[in-house]
Every structure is written in structure tokens, then in C-alpha cells.
Structure 1
Amino acid sequence: MDATAGTVWGRAEQQDFRSRVRGTLLGAAVGDALGAPVARLDLDGIRAAHGPEGVVDLAPAYGRRGAVTHLTQLTLFSVDGLIRAQVRRDTGAWHPPTDLHRAYLRWAATQRDWGPDERRADDGWLAREEWLYARRDPARALLLGLGDATMGTLEAPKNPGEAGGEAAGRSAPFGLLVGWEPQLVVQLAVECATHTHGHPTGCLAAGAYAVIVHTLARGDSLDGAVQRALALLAARPGHQPVSEALQQALGAVRQGVPTPDRVAALAGGGTADRVVAAAVYCAMVGEDVRHGLRLAVNHDGPSALTASLAGGLLGALHGETALPPAWLAALEGRPTILELADDFAMEMTQGPALHTPAAASPAWLARYPRA
């Protein structure tokens, strides 16, 4: 279903896709917000701060309830970069990793500047959202990788020893390219991971996560999505840690009632392979979205990252209507997330009506400049 390839989307298809896009982005953000207050705590610390059941509802972080971290910020810039790549395609310039890198540099500017610079007209509308100009504990690898204009590549990745999960944490939008073949989704996520997390484990975990979202967004089951990821990973050098972690997640599903210890065992030391596996497990065993996200938060591992990844999976699987309304109502940046999600869905389903090499909507180009 690729509008750029001439496929005609029916109304029901458009509505389902829009719901899954909204669900993925909102789900990832809600998981991020649920885990943000306890991102640096182990399970004992979580229970000491929030009671014996741990975190069961949104709690204050960064001075407000429902606040998100850098994970959500970067995910939004991933979406922005993907839309910009589609728009720039009209010019004959078609290299999405470059457009994503430029988008991540726009995020990096939000971490340095006091607020939007109206003189940079080619930044587009997302970079002018003032609420994004807040530093929310970004990992050092992100600041180093995006600290200059040099783009990481497969041949020369940034931070080649970095295997953390933050690259996976911004990769859900790649999975929403439902018109792309799965192997291309993996490739794009892997290439874009090299901008900040150059270790094969960090890159391949991002690719695995993106293609799991991709398979869910196409209407498959979570088990089927993980199997698809395993099949695609098998041909890639260095895949073993990621593949083994995902296999462990599938095995853990059959071990009985989920527990914080089981989630922590999967999350391990917090490397990308382990955190993606823990998120997959929480999404598979959760009785509903709320239960799955609580599992993803209340353990010894990285709470915000695990829950953000799990939320993206659950949103792609079930759509936006499955997400807890009370949590959405308190979510920081929700209007921006919805606006960006709807723009993405419109670009992917109706892009030729918005822009072609011969003509384009001035309003769309103001939002997503070709420069």
C-alpha cells in the first residue's frame, strides 16, 4: 500500500492506517511518560516511591504529570524526517537516511537553543513547537552522535561501541512505512541507527523493532511479527544477540504468569537487544494496554525505554482506541503528536494530491520544506 507507487487507498484502509499511526505514536509516548518518573530507579526504588504495586498511573516528572523524555522527542523528529524525505523525492533527491539525519540535527538544536529560531524557515513546523525545547535526559551517545553535521553510515558509524536502545526507541515510525518491503524497513532503521549507535547490536535491534511494528501495522499478530523479524535478521552478520533475545522473549511467554523478575531478566543490562526483547514480552503477555505498560515500567531495567517500545507495539497492534483515555488526556504534547500522526498518514496515503515534481501545495511545503 504505497501511495507513491500509485496504489489507491480505500476509505476503510485509510481509517485503519490512521488509527495505527496514531496508536503507535501515542502508545510510545504514553509508555515513555509512564516510565519517565522512575527511569533511573530499580524495582525496590520504584516501590519505595510509589507503593508495593509500583507505578500504576501517570506520575509527575520534569515538573508535570504526563511528561515525556527525549525518546518521544526523537520519535517525532523521525516522523518529520520521513515526511520530508517523501516531499524531497519530487526533486530527484531520494536518500531517506540523509533526511532523517537532518531531522535529528533539528532535534539536537532543541537541546542547545532556548527556543525556535524563526529565521530558519526551512526547519518546518515541528521545530517551531516550543514545548520540544526542553532537555529530557538524553543519552550521551545521542548528543555525541549529533554533535556535528557528520552523518554516521554503515561504513563509518557514529559511536561504534554504543549498543544502547535509544536508536530503537526512535524507530517505530520506520515501521509505519507499510508500503515498503520489510527488508527495506530493516535497512532504513539500521542505517539511521548508525547516526548515534554504531554497534551492530544497537543497529540490528532498531531494525528488528521497526519491522515488528511494520508487520503489526499491516495487520499481523505480534507472534507473527517477531517471527518475521527473526527471519530477516538471520541473513545479517552480528544478528545473534538480537535474535537470541527475541527467542528468549517468546520462550518467556510460555513460562506462566508475568512477573517483574521475568521482565528484568529479559532486559538484562539494558542493551538494545535485551530492552527490545523485554518490550516484546510485555506487549505479548499484557492483558490489555494498561497492564502491558505497567509490566514494562515496574522492573529493574530502563523503565521509560522499555515502556515506550512496548507502547509503540501495542498501539500499532490495536490502534489508538485501545489506549487508556485518562493517560492520553494528561500526555504532554498530545496535540502535536496527533497533528504529526495525521500529517504522516495523509502523506503516505494521499501524497500525490499534496505534491508532485510539477506542482505542490504551498501550505504543505511550508510545513515540510524541500530545502
Structure 2
Amino acid sequence: MGATAGAIWGRTEQQDFRGRVRGTLLGAAVGDALGAPVDGLSLEQIRQAHGPEGLADLAAGPAGRGAITQHTQLTLFSVDGLIRAQVRRDTGAWHPPTDLHRAYLRWAATQRDWGPDERRAEDGWLAREEWLYAPRSPARACLLGLGDETMGTLDAPKNPGEQGPEAATRSAPFGLLVGWDPQLVLQLAIECAAQTHGHPTAYFAAGAYAVIVHALARGETLDAAVQRALALLGPWPGHQPVAEALQHALGTVRQGMPTPARIEELAGPGTAEGVLAVAVYCALVGEDVRHGLCLAVNHGGPSGAAGALTGGLLGALHGETALPPAWLAELEGRPTMLVLADDFAMEMTQGPALHGPTGSAPAWLARYPRA
């Protein structure tokens, strides 16, 4: 992995990292919860329901005010899978895509089962969180891709025609692997996206998003982060639509004040590269986190996905304390997200002390079993 040993992390660096991890997960979740109630509505319909300025605050959706959707559910299982991959590395079984696939299968169980199976200790603690057992508009591609135990790969991807943004919206956690080389972050996100979204547009958008988050989590500017993603995408055949969408987002920033029309033009038909472009644009032009998120959801496209992607970028860039406190207070599942974020930060900075050759913490292995 690289930079994982606690000895090379000073206290200030650990605190900054934890704040960015929390910011990324909570920001993505807040953006998801903000956009979900208006997802798929036209701009006119949004304004009819929420006033001439559009949606400016959390609103009640089918699951209530502040409720998250599958975007956040799957993001949490991405984090769980990454922690489990690190824990399993001690056994010599080092193949993170497999651990992520198992985590996504645990998510799939939450969409069909009434509640957790307490007899399955190997599922770990996240899969026993009862509030997650709620179908929240799961994308058909995710249900089909995870409908059996066969793992999609780049050579044999699941749903090869699927271009939706759902794989990208669960990919922010890959960017939080700050000790990894960004090229490995890109590859891991691409491989894991192909488990449900097999079209190059979808899995390259997921990879680019992870690389952007990775650069932000390491303290780079958003513009530099996008340039890094563009450079890393270059050698991959079929990456051009995603690269063009990112360049279009950067070009739109220079065209003047943001408008819903500009955002809808970037979003296009709502495929992954367009939604990623919206997120980059809104994160760049937003006056603050609240403004950027409101820009991201007030258009006639996939508002939930755009909000989630934008929130992940802004949270990674600014950290937890920049997020709107009133929105966090109403966010469904926030206690779980905070525990998971802190566990991830602990694993990435102190993992060897928890389950390495010099020490073992049974409670940690019960939370994140090697099985």
C-alpha cells in the first residue's frame, strides 16, 4: 500500500486526514440527500415545488427529510470493503477488487433481506446496521451486476452497455487511499466499477473521480486534481468521452456566472461523464459548499448523483468542518458514517498496530473479519 504505518503520520497529518475522510463521506451523503427529492424533475418542476430560486435546503423525499439513497449506501460498503482488504492483506490474500465485490454483495443483501442475519459474523459490523436494510432507488445495473456471485472484470464486465453514474458515486473512498500511487487508485476504481457498469464511459468516469478525490485528499487544488486525472486517463483506450467532459467543465468555468442552463448542458443525457462534469464545475464555481451543492442539484438531470459527486469533492477539498451543520444534523445515518470514517482513518494510519505482525486487536478483527 505504501504510507500506512503510524510512525510516518504526525498528529497534525492524522487529524487532517481524518477530517478529509469525514468530509468526503459526509459531503457525498449530504449531496445525495439534498438532490434525491428532486431527482429526475425538470428545472420548472423544481421551481414550482421550491420557489423561483429552486431547492435551497433539505426537502422531504419518499424516505423523509435528510434521507440518503443507494449512492451513499454503496459508498459506505466501498469503505467497508477497503478496510477488509487491508485486514486480509496479512493473510497474503491481496486482491482488493475481490474484497470490494464481497462488500457490494453485502449491500445487495440489504436490498432484498428484511434485516441482518446475526448468525453471519463474517459479515462484519456494517452489514448489521439495520437502518441500511432499505431499498433506496437501487439502480437496475447495480442489482443485475450484483445479482449473482460472479464478479465482473475489465475482460468480462457486467452490463457492458451501462453508462450511468452509479459506479462513480460509490468511488470516492478509493481516492482516500492517500498512500497509494494515483495510477493504482485509477485502476482499482475502474476494475470495481466494471462489476456493475461495464461501459468504458462509466468505469473511466469512476476512475477519474477517484483520482480527483485522491489529489484533493493529498492537499492539491481542484484544478490540479482534474489535470492529474486527465494525464492518467491518457494511455487508456476509450477514455476520450470522459476526458472531453472534464475539459468541457473546465472551459465552462470561464464562461461567466453559473446558470442551470450551463449545468444542464454539461450533464447532457445524464450519463456518467456528464454528471462528473457537473460535479467538477459546481465544485469549482460554488461560493461555498452550500452554494456548490445547490448548483449541483437544481437542474433537470440526475440531481442525486450530481449532488453526491459534488459533495464528495467539496468534502475532500475542505474537510468536515466546511459542511453545512444544519444539514449534517438531519442527515440519515450520520453516526454510522462517522464511525466508519474514523475506522477507515485508523486503519490507514495505524493498521499494522491493529492486526500486523507486532500486534493484534481482536475487537478490530471482529468488526472487520478476515473471512
Could you say which residue in structure 1 is the equivalent of 2:321? 321
Could you say which residue in structure 1 is the equivalent of 2:278? 278
Could you say which residue in structure 2 is the equivalent of 1:224? 224
Report the Cα offset of residue 64 of structure 1. Answer: 1.8
Structure 2 unaligned residues grouped into runs of 5+: none
The 3-state SS of whatever aligns with 1:292 is helix
Is 1:17 matched with 2:13?
no
Report the Cα offset of residue 93 of structure 1. Answer: 0.3
| Identity of matched residues, % | 80
Is 1:333 matched with 2:330?
no
Report the Cα offset of residue 40 of structure 1. Answer: 2.1
Could you say which residue in structure 1 is the equivalent of 2:205? 205
Could you say which residue in structure 1 is the equivalent of 2:360? 360
Rounded Cα–Cα distance in structure 1 between residues aligned with 2:3 and 2:225:
23
Contact 1:3 1:352 in 2 (8 A): no
Is 1:97 matched with 2:97?
yes
Is 1:8 matched with 2:8?
yes
Aligned amino acid, residue 293 of structure 2: L
Is 1:194 matched with 2:200?
no
Is 1:26 matched with 2:26?
yes
For 1:288-307, list aligned pairs within 5 A. Answer: 288-307=288-307
Could you say which residue in structure 1 is the equivalent of 2:163? 163
Q: Deviations over 1:44-80 (max 9, x none)?
A: 1111111111110001123321000000000000000
Could you say which residue in structure 2 is the equivalent of 1:112? 112
Structure 1 unaligned residues grouped into runs of 5+: none
Q: Deviations over 1:230-249 (max 9, x none)?
A: 00011110011000000000
Could you say which residue in structure 1 is the equivalent of 2:234? 234
Could you say which residue in structure 2 is the equivalent of 1:174? 174
Aligned amino acid, residue 32 of structure 1: D
Q: After TM superposition, which residue ranges in structure 1, 4 or more long, deviate above 4 angstroms?
A: none
Rounded Cα–Cα distance in structure 2 between residues aligned with 1:40 and 1:286:
22
Report the Cα offset of residue 358 of structure 1. Answer: 6.5
Contact 2:6 2:350 in 1 (8 A): no
Report the Cα offset of residue 3 of structure 1. Answer: 4.0
Contact 2:23 2:320 in 1 (8 A): yes
Aligned amino acid, residue 136 of structure 2: R
The 3-state SS of whatever aligns with 2:158 is coil
Contact 2:25 2:315 in 1 (8 A): yes
Rounded Cα–Cα distance in structure 1 between residues aligned with 2:158 and 2:357:
34
Report the Cα offset of residue 121 of structure 1. Answer: 0.7
Rounded Cα–Cα distance in structure 1 between residues aligned with 2:204 and 2:6:
31
Rounded Cα–Cα distance in structure 2 between residues aligned with 1:7 and 1:253:
41
For 1:63-74, list aligned pairs within 5 A. Answer: 63-74=63-74
Contact 1:91 1:357 in 2 (8 A): no
Q: Deviations over 1:241-286 (max 9, x none)?
A: 0000000000000000000110110010011111101100000000
Rounded Cα–Cα distance in structure 2 between residues aligned with 1:132 and 1:230:
35
Rounded Cα–Cα distance in structure 1 between residues aligned with 2:291 and 2:359:
48
Rounded Cα–Cα distance in structure 1 between residues aligned with 2:6 and 2:287:
39
Evaluate the alpha carbon distance shift between residue 357 and residue 370 of structure 1 in structure 2; reply closer, same or farther with a 3 A threshold.
farther
Rounded Cα–Cα distance in structure 2 between residues aligned with 1:190 and 1:7:
31
Contact 1:3 1:350 in 2 (8 A): no
Contact 1:289 1:322 in 2 (8 A): yes
Aligned amino acid, residue 368 of structure 1: Y
Q: CA RMSD in A?
A: 1.1
Rounded Cα–Cα distance in structure 1 between residues aligned with 2:88 and 2:51:
51
Aligned amino acid, residue 234 of structure 1: G
Is 1:121 matched with 2:121?
yes
Aligned amino acid, residue 174 of structure 2: F
Contact 1:219 1:317 in 2 (8 A): yes
Could you say which residue in structure 2 is the equivalent of 1:312? 312
Report the Cα offset of residue 4 of structure 1. Answer: 3.6
Rounded Cα–Cα distance in structure 2 between residues aligned with 1:320 and 1:63:
25
Could you say which residue in structure 2 is the equivalent of 1:152? 152
The 3-state SS of whatever aligns with 2:251 is helix
Aligned amino acid, residue 285 of structure 2: V
Contact 2:315 2:322 in 1 (8 A): yes
The 3-state SS of whatever aligns with 2:15 is helix
Contact 2:67 2:332 in 1 (8 A): yes
Aligned amino acid, residue 53 of structure 1: E
Q: What is the count of residue pairs matched by the alignment?
A: 371
